[in-house]
Structure 1
């Protein structure tokens, strides 16, 4: 079964209805023990397919988590302080706002030039 089969609910329902329509009469006419064995095999087959798809999705999710965990944590300095030097990607708070440094070796106060990006807050003019 293809990935689209499991990702498309309408396709799953249509396939199950088609299977049911094609098997209903022959299964009803089948001896009960044989009917039970046929249904058991169908259940095992579907469980295997669902299990394979679940494992595939689990592997994809694990890879995404690993990639996210490898990303470097951006440096965070609590409050901007005159004289400190900030590097690209550093976060600071200044006058009630959160800022991210967008230049290397930055010493300017956040909000005074384009070397800082406002992340959260409304800068107050002084």
Structure 2
């Protein structure tokens, strides 16, 4: 397996806080990338991913925010097919950054009943690599 990003760095968090006006992590924050997920901002996050100048660590962190936001939207039954299509395109175009993210969200050995709402989508994307 290659050298794919495995965790969200403090530098990536600080940069995304500035670039996207996201909440700063508190002193006891452990899962900032999930805490700032916001299904109302998915289009903005996708546009930022495509259009802002970001390094791999920032893209890695932002994609986790996007997937967390999409997971929330799917749970509420409120996700547009074009958003899923764009997310799939971004994941596949930069799989070298997002492989570990796909592995995490796919929960390969679990029954779908025990998985995230977005797991079927992630498994579908993962089958394409």
Instruction: Give TM-score, length-normalised by structure 2.
Output: 0.23
Task: Write 1 or 2 for the structure with the bigger share of strand.
Answer: 1
Greater helix share, structure number: 2
Whose Rg is larger?
1
Where relative contact order (Cα < 8 A, 6+ residues apart) is larger, the structure is 2
